[in-house]
Amino acid sequence: LIENIIPVEKRERRIFHVDLDAFFAAVEERENPAIRGKPVVVGADPKEGKGRGVVSTCNYEARKFGIRSGMPISRAWKLCPQAIYLPVNMPLYEKVSEKIMKILRKFADKFEQVGIDEAFLDVSKTARTFDSAARLAKKIKEEVKRKEKLTCSIGVAPNKLVAKIASDFRKPDGLTIITPEKVRSFLSPLPVRKLPGVGPKTESRLRQIGIETIGQLAKADPEDLAREFGVWGPRFVVMANGIDESEVEERYVAKSFGRQHTFEKDTDDVELMHKTIEVLSNETFEDVKRYAAFFKTVTLILRYENFETHTRSKTLESPAMSAEVIKKTAKELLKDFLGTEKKVRLIGVRVSGLLMDHRQKKLLESVKK
């Protein structure tokens, strides 16, 4: 059996995936009792249906109207003009997130934050059985509710992959426990789209070859899928079988930093593009400085009015650590795009090939804990 390939210590883990429910909207509702129970949409300014940008998060009331995160804000407005529309207040959410992550961290043997509103906890030592893990998960949910007035959904499973799918299974305020014996029967009826890494494109390509559920994918021939999807093919089959040996990783090292900006109005004003590059470079450099990193490569991102997106990058002769180098290189790369009729919608700057010395990494790790 395929499961027997997995070493026993990896098979016998209790992993949590904790997902804060409609996080940005929930924080706004908590802060402002007047909007509770009403549809709340956090994201770009809808400007009476003429706004540019997308929905960041909406609460469950707003979802009843068909609003979803990532949807153009103009479409959300059409679906529900009477909703409460709020701008993204990142500093506030970051503050709340930090407090909650502190609560979660103290229950975990190993802890990994993913983004602002999710975390994995390895509790295998603290909770030696799934019954004990279930009690612990309830305790965590209660403490988050009592101290921060917010709900979360938790998936409990033998690995990160299944825990993540489980936390999404019942929401909001859900708790889904998948013991090793239940992994197969839990996954097999679910659509392939539930697997992390399967997006809209992969979903439709899989459908074309007759694969719609995770159960069907689990039985597919890895070699056939390799021909179709490259390295991802066999990976999908392994995932569909509920197998994931990856560890809950305490530390994370950034590989790139960048900033991008969508103009209010599509533009062909080179002055404005230069000014924007300067602002974006300065902000990007703040991150570089905080990490005390050198960078080797500068990338310019440019999106035309028709949403066609291009990148140009340049690897420097020697690693740099200055905002001026980002600006100068990005402006140089911009030249490649000038002299067309098309107006520009977005400009972005990114640095990669980051170099941090070992001592630096160690210091950062100790600070983080």
Partner DNA sequence: TCTGGGGTCCTAGGACCC
Catalytic residues: 118
| Residue 322 binding DNA, by CB under 7 A | no
Give the total of residues touching DNA (CB under 7 A). 58
Contact 310, 338 (CB under 8 A): no
How many residues are there in the chain? 369
| Residue 115 binding DNA, by CB under 7 A | yes
Whole-number Å distance between alpha carbons of 351 and 331:
14
Laid out side by side, the sheet with 309-320 consists of: 256-267, 344-352, 295-304, 309-320
Whole-number Å distance between alpha carbons of 178 and 80:
37
3 state SS of 315: strand
Q: Is 7 or 70 the residue whose CB approaches DNA more closely?
A: 70
As separate numbers, helices (DSSP H) first and strands (DSSP E) second, the chain gives: 15, 12
Whole-number Å distance between alpha carbons of 18 and 114:
10
Q: Is 37 or 230 the residue whose CB approaches DNA more closely?
A: 230
Identify the helix (H) or strand (E) that includes residue 9. helix 8-11
Q: Is 216 or 313 the residue whose CB approaches DNA more closely?
A: 313
Which residue of 123, 144, 198, 293 would you call a contact of DNA, by CB under 7 A? 198
Q: Which range touches DNA (CB under 7 A), out of 182-190, 270-278, 299-307, 320-328?
A: 299-307
| Residue 279 binding DNA, by CB under 7 A | no
| Residue 327 binding DNA, by CB under 7 A | no
| Residue 64 binding DNA, by CB under 7 A | no
| Residue 272 binding DNA, by CB under 7 A | no
Rounded to a whole number of angstroms, the minimum distance from the CB of residue 148 to DNA is: 17
| Residue 257 binding DNA, by CB under 7 A | yes
Nearest to 159 by CA among 173, 141, 180, 140: 180
Question: Which residues, other chains included, contact 330 with Cβ-Cβ below 8 Å and sequence gap of 6+?
Answer: 277, 280, 281, 298, 300, 349
| Residue 182 binding DNA, by CB under 7 A | no
Q: Is 223 exposed, middle or buried (0-12, 13-18, 19+ CB in 10 A)?
A: exposed
| Residue 91 binding DNA, by CB under 7 A | no
118 φ/ψ angles, rounded to the nearest 5 degrees? -140, 155
Q: Which range touches DNA (CB under 7 A), out of 97-105, 127-135, 210-218, 309-317?
A: 309-317
Residues 15-44 that bind DNA (CB under 7 A): 44
3 state SS of 142: helix
| Residue 203 binding DNA, by CB under 7 A | yes
Which residue of 37, 81, 87, 230 would you call a contact of DNA, by CB under 7 A? 230
Whole-number Å distance between alpha carbons of 191 and 272:
46
- Both structure tokens of 137: 């998960």
Rounded to a whole number of angstroms, the minimum distance from the CB of residue 260 to DNA is: 4
Q: Which range touches DNA (CB under 7 A), out of 101-109, 141-149, 192-200, 241-249?
A: 192-200
The angle formed by the CA atoms of residues 324, 329 and 335, to the nearest 5 degrees, is 130
Q: Is 127 or 320 the residue whose CB approaches DNA more closely?
A: 320
Which residue of 89, 256, 267, 282 would you call a contact of DNA, by CB under 7 A? 256
Nearest to 169 by CA among 150, 154, 179, 157: 154
Q: Which range touches DNA (CB under 7 A), out of 64-72, 122-130, 145-153, 176-184?
A: 64-72
Q: Can you give the binding site for DNA, defined by CB under 7 A?
A: 44, 52-54, 56, 69-70, 72, 74-75, 78, 114-118, 164, 195-203, 230-232, 254-262, 283, 287, 296-297, 299, 306-307, 309-315, 345-346, 348, 350, 352-353
